[in-house]
Chain A
Amino acid sequence: MALQPRTWQKINLVGDCTVLLLAAASATVFPGGIHYLVGLAMAFCAMAIWMIGGRVLRHYDIANGRGIAGDVALTLVLLFATLFPMFALRLFVPRYAATANMQSFVVVFVLAVVWLRLLTSWIRTRPPEPPEDVLVIGVGPLGRHTGLEIAASRRDRRVTGYLALRGEERDARLPARILGMVDALETVLKAHVVHEVYLANGDEAHHAEVQEAIRVCERFGIPFALPASRFRIARAEPRERAALDDGYVHYVSFRAKPLQLVLKRAFDIVASSAALVALAPLMISVAVAIKLTSKGPVLFRQVRVGRYGRTFHMLKFRSMVQNAEALKAKLLAKNEQTGPVFKMERDPRITAIGRFIRKYSIDELPQFLNVLRGEMTIVGPRPPIPGEVAQYEAWQRRRLSVRPGITCVWQVSGRNRIGFEQWMYLDMQYIDNWSLGQDFQLIFRTVPVVLFGKGAS
């Protein structure tokens, strides 16, 4: 996930201030209580020095390519700058010297800040694995240079292929193969995993084709990039360079709220770890029950479609007999859900324990592991199976533009009583109006649905 440098600055600043407060608390907490005044004074002094020093040394200005080692070195310099006056203060204020435990302050402060810096540097610089796939439309010079630039300087991306515009001269030195004409964009997007589409031809002659390609990208919810300018710019440069440092303006079709997205991911990690710990007794007993009552594995690994169409294994407790997928074909005539999804009230493949864990959604609990792995999130559209995606209409594929989740609007509004079209529509509304507050609301509304076993089967 690419974040704006400004967001990283905020994350680093908030993290450092938290660490300072913790360090001050650790220095002033005694078995008998806490020296509030001394603690607050320490925290205040340290924070003031830290922030002024950070401002002067451009500590939070991370867009300057210092790298991990440089970040840590600068952090150490600032740490000494902060700690030195605090020790000097002890000489002049004997009472403070007697109450504050400087050793623990130093240890907590230094370790936590350096660790935090390593962590954020690492998250910021590590390339996503596997690299993101991009498609380039336009096979002329701009298309070639775009592809070669990505191949040469972007470790986190690779060019899947090219699409040609009508009447374009095909360059023989393209770094990837040509998959077809731009008319085939819809077919290509359905067949390939694509994280972004570069529209590498701004010529007036191709206006209509490029416009149509943009329309397709928006309908599919796939990010796209347009050349920053169609004009020759010899000297001038954009005032805001960060937004288009590769010569492209990048667009996304979901609400880009970088800070909220980071908080959402942080919440995912904390909440699912907590849930796994709290629910461990229940999950272990269910696992034992499944193992004892029927043949086969405890967990059911199903291939589901994740963000941008990349597949992953979604985990569930097994609630059906072992050869359930094979039996599904015989039951298709009895499907009770409209559209490409298969749902049935009295599915004969479900085991006795399976009926119980499905009613209370216990079978979904292992998905907290998928959340920790980063394949899913807690609130988001349910991940579809590949067969469903193949039958999607174009606008429905936009569900795949966000990370799939455990619960979403559909789960709290009656589940199987809602038709497929309506379900897709609700998900699309969720994606377009996404906010962290709404996510929390949905979690709270999910709890009674799960506890009273409403609508599940």
Chain B
Amino acid sequence: MSRRVVLLVEDDPLLRQRVKIWLESEKFDVRCASEYATALEQIDACAPAIACVDLTLPRESGLDLVEAIRKHARHAMLPIIVMSDHHSPEDMAEAERVGANAFLKKPFARPMLLKYVEWILDGTQPSRPSIHTLRRVDG
């Protein structure tokens, strides 16, 4: 059985390395990108099962990336968790509007990240409406 691929888009090398180790310990195949263009290339190359996207990237923002993925010819339905340390209600509403599936507040710990990934991949939502879930994963 092939391992499921997670695309991790994060420009901070330390955090990227840490999150990569966390996910690999759970038997995920992790591909990394540090910005918009490489992220879109990676999606074409490795067809990930889920994407974790930081909202503050060096050039185009993470929200732009989410918008671009939602317009992608083959991977428009890719489940996306956005991660940010800007998390006012407005930021969350905006992430929901562009089509992200969940909002992970930074800083976060390992169990929290894994819980999010699990929710999204199983298609189960947490039992009570959590502030962090934005949209159901379709299909």
Partners in one complex: yes
Partner of A234, one of B61, B88, B93, B96: B61
The listed residue with most A CB atoms (<10 A of its CB), out of B92, B129, B131, is B131
Contact B96 A141 (CB under 8 A): yes
Is A66 an interface residue, CB under 8 A from the partner? no
Interface flags for B75-107 (1: CB within 8 Å of A; 0: not) read: 000000000001011111110110000000000
Interface of A is mostly: loop
If the complex has contacts A234-B56, A234-B61, A235-B61, are A141 and B93 also in contact, measured as CB distance less than 8 A? yes
If the complex has contacts A234-B61, A235-B61, are A247 and B90 also in contact, measured as CB distance less than 8 A? yes
The residues of A that contact B61 with a CB separation of less than 8 Å are 232, 234-235
If the complex has contacts A141-B93, A234-B62, are A175 and B88 also in contact, measured as CB distance less than 8 A? no
Q: How far is the CB of A228 from chain B (nearest CB, A)?
A: 7
Is A145 an interface residue, CB under 8 A from the partner? yes
Q: How far is the CB of B134 from chain A (nearest CB, A)?
A: 8
Q: How far is the CB of B70 from chain A (nearest CB, A)?
A: 15
Partner of A235, one of B56, B96, B134: B56
Closest to B92 in A: A145
B residues contacting the other copy or chain, number (CB 8 A): 20
Contact A140 B93 (CB under 8 A): yes
Partner of B63, one of A146, A200, A232: A232
Contact B129 A173 (CB under 8 A): yes
The residues of B that contact A149 with a CB separation of less than 8 Å are 88-89, 131
Is A421 an interface residue, CB under 8 A from the partner? no
Contact A141 B97 (CB under 8 A): yes
Contact A148 B55 (CB under 8 A): no
If the complex has contacts A141-B97, A247-B88, are A234 and B55 also in contact, measured as CB distance less than 8 A? yes
Residues in A139-188 with C-beta less than 8 Å from chain B: 140-142, 144-146, 148-149, 152, 173, 175
Closest to A234 in B: B61
A238 to B134 Cα, complex, angstroms: 25
Contact B63 A234 (CB under 8 A): yes
A173 to B129 Cα, complex, angstroms: 6
Closest to B56 in A: A235
Residues in A37-83 with C-beta less than 8 Å from chain B: none
The residues of A that contact B91 with a CB separation of less than 8 Å are 247
Is A103 an interface residue, CB under 8 A from the partner? no
Partner of A145, one of B63, B64, B93: B93
Residues in A240-271 with C-beta less than 8 Å from chain B: 246-248
Q: How far is the CB of B83 from chain A (nearest CB, A)?
A: 13
Contact B89 A142 (CB under 8 A): yes
Contact A228 B55 (CB under 8 A): no
Closest to A201 in B: B93
A435 to B96 Cα, complex, angstroms: 45
Contact A152 B90 (CB under 8 A): no
A184 to B62 Cα, complex, angstroms: 39
Contact B131 A142 (CB under 8 A): no
A235 to B54 Cα, complex, angstroms: 11
Q: How far is the CB of A9 from chain B (nearest CB, A)?
A: 25
Q: How far is the CB of B96 from chain A (nearest CB, A)?
A: 4
Partner of A175, one of B55, B90, B92, B129: B129
Contact A145 B131 (CB under 8 A): yes
A38 to B96 Cα, complex, angstroms: 67
The residues of A that contact B96 with a CB separation of less than 8 Å are 141, 145
The residues of B that contact A229 with a CB separation of less than 8 Å are 90
Contact A148 B129 (CB under 8 A): yes
Is A227 an interface residue, CB under 8 A from the partner? yes
A34 to B89 Cα, complex, angstroms: 60
Closest to B85 in A: A237
A235 to B86 Cα, complex, angstroms: 8
Residues in B97-136 with C-beta less than 8 Å from chain A: 97, 129-131, 134
If the complex has contacts A175-B129, A235-B61, are A247 and B56 also in contact, measured as CB distance less than 8 A? no
Q: How far is the CB of B133 from chain A (nearest CB, A)?
A: 8
The listed residue with most B CB atoms (<10 A of its CB), out of A141, A146, A173, is A141
Contact A141 B56 (CB under 8 A): no
The residues of B that contact A200 with a CB separation of less than 8 Å are 89
Q: How far is the CB of B119 from chain A (nearest CB, A)?
A: 14
Q: How far is the CB of A14 from chain B (nearest CB, A)?
A: 34
A108 to B61 Cα, complex, angstroms: 57
The residues of A that contact B93 with a CB separation of less than 8 Å are 140-142, 144-145
Contact A145 B56 (CB under 8 A): no
The listed residue with most B CB atoms (<10 A of its CB), out of A140, A145, A248, is A145
A248 to B90 Cα, complex, angstroms: 9
The residues of B that contact A175 with a CB separation of less than 8 Å are 129
The residues of B that contact A235 with a CB separation of less than 8 Å are 56, 61
The residues of B that contact A246 with a CB separation of less than 8 Å are 88-89
A227 to B64 Cα, complex, angstroms: 21
The residues of A that contact B129 with a CB separation of less than 8 Å are 148, 173, 175
Contact B55 A152 (CB under 8 A): no
The residues of A that contact B63 with a CB separation of less than 8 Å are 232, 234
Query: 15 A-B Cβ contacts within 8 A?
Result: A140-B93, A141-B93, A142-B90, A142-B93, A145-B92, A148-B130, A152-B131, A200-B89, A232-B63, A234-B61, A235-B61, A237-B86, A247-B88, A247-B89, A248-B89
Interface residues of A, Cβ cutoff 8 Å to B? 140-142, 144-146, 148-149, 152, 173, 175, 200, 227-229, 232-235, 237, 246-248
